[in-house]
Amino acid sequence: MRVLEVSDLTVGYGRVVVLSGISFSVDQGQVVGIIGPNGAGKTTLVRTVLGYLRPWRGRVLYMKTDVTNYPAHERVKLGIGYVPERGGVLKTLTVRENIDVAVSMSKYGRDRVREVVKLFKIVEERRDQLAGTLSGGEQRMLAIALALLMADKLIVMDEPSAGLAPVIRRRLVEVVKHVNRELGVSLLITEQDPTVVLETAETVHVMEMGTIARSGKARDVVNVETLREYYLGM
């Protein structure tokens, strides 16, 4: 079953076109990666999929429902989880209060609390600590936990590995694989570093200057060493 379908998406700011004719899909139980250098349009794509930007042309379908004109909060209600590049947690609340807020806003969260506690140790170990005092890596893990509580079939992650230490990045890969394989949640992941996508995604789309330049199976599309050198040199 197709969870997300993006068709001929064209988006811009003012008179400037940022995305042009973007089309791709995410099937049930699939991890799809979007990679490209800074300025390729990855975050604009995510913001459009989530309803923060309205496209000039094209459609966004979630579980066969046309959500192109739905605002972001309506897409959350439908069960689309989101992990932003920065933030994603309520910093002035404790870890436990963050979890409680997510559960209260979602019809799916209560059934997943036990899984979240098992998967994310900070939920129990740091439950009374203010989220804003957690390390960057811990905040990212909490943001993923909150997205999992909110999500029905899909979680969208915008550059989740940005700024993470190697050990936390490895943990991120483990978590993504578990969420996908054990819980059956599909994921759309944008990344500048292709190595994370290669370890998690089945299908990869490479973005260049607001378009999808090439697509296919991860190992067929991405030469990791070449792309890594390219991106890090930008």
- DSSP secondary structure string, 36-94? --TTSSHHHHHHHHHTSS--SEEEEEETTEE-TT--HHHHHHHTEEEE-SS--S-TTSB
Residues 59 and 18 reside in one and the same domain: yes
CA distances in angstroms from 47 to 31, 32, 79, 154, listed in the order given? 18, 16, 16, 15
What pLDDT is recorded for position 198?
A: 85
What pLDDT is recorded for position 155?
A: 97
Domain edge (last residue) among 126, 151, 176: 151
Angle between helices 136-150 and 95-105 (to 10 degrees): 20
Residues 24 and 135 reside in one and the same domain: no
Q: List the alpha helices (DSSP H) in the chain.
A: 42-50, 72-78, 95-105, 109-119, 122-125, 136-150, 166-183, 194-200, 218-221, 224-232
Looking at the domain assignment, is residue 56 inside a domain?
A: yes
Residues 94 and 8 reside in one and the same domain: no
Rounded distance between C-alpha atoms, residue 7 and residue 4, angstroms: 10
Domain edge (last residue) among 104, 126, 151: 151
Q: For the segment 114-167, what is each residue's pLDDT rounded down to a tens digit?
A: 889 989 989 999 999 999 999 999 999 999 999 999 998 999 999 999 888 889
Domain edge (last residue) among 151, 172, 196: 151
Looking at the domain assignment, is residue 207 inside a domain?
A: yes
Looking at the domain assignment, is residue 62 inside a domain?
A: yes
Q: Do the beta carbons of residue 145 and residue 171 sit within 8 Å?
A: no
Residues 72 and 164 reside in one and the same domain: yes
We report the CATH number of the domain holding residue 214 as 3.40.50.300
Note the pTM of the prediction, 2 decimals: 0.90
Residues 68 and 104 reside in one and the same domain: no
What pLDDT is recorded for position 232?
A: 53
Nearest one of 113, 160, 164 to 136, comparing CA atoms: 164
Residues 75 and 6 reside in one and the same domain: yes
What residues make up the domain containing 146?
89-151
Eight-state DSSP code of residue 160: T
What pLDDT is recorded for position 224?
A: 53
Residues 137 and 168 reside in one and the same domain: no
Q: Do the beta carbons of residue 140 and residue 160 sit within 8 Å?
A: yes
Residues 228 and 164 reside in one and the same domain: yes
What pLDDT is recorded for position 193?
A: 77
What pLDDT is recorded for position 86?
A: 85
What pLDDT is recorded for position 115?
A: 87
Could you give the number of structural domains in the chain? Answer: 2
Per-residue pLDDT 10s for the chain (234 aa) are 899 999 999 999 999 999 999 999 999 999 999 998 888 999 999 999 999 999 999 999 999 999 999 999 999 999 999 999 888 999 999 999 999 999 988 887 777 898 899 899 899 999 999 999 999 999 999 999 999 999 989 999 999 998 888 898 899 999 999 999 999 999 999 998 777 888 899 999 999 999 999 898 877 776 654 555 545 554
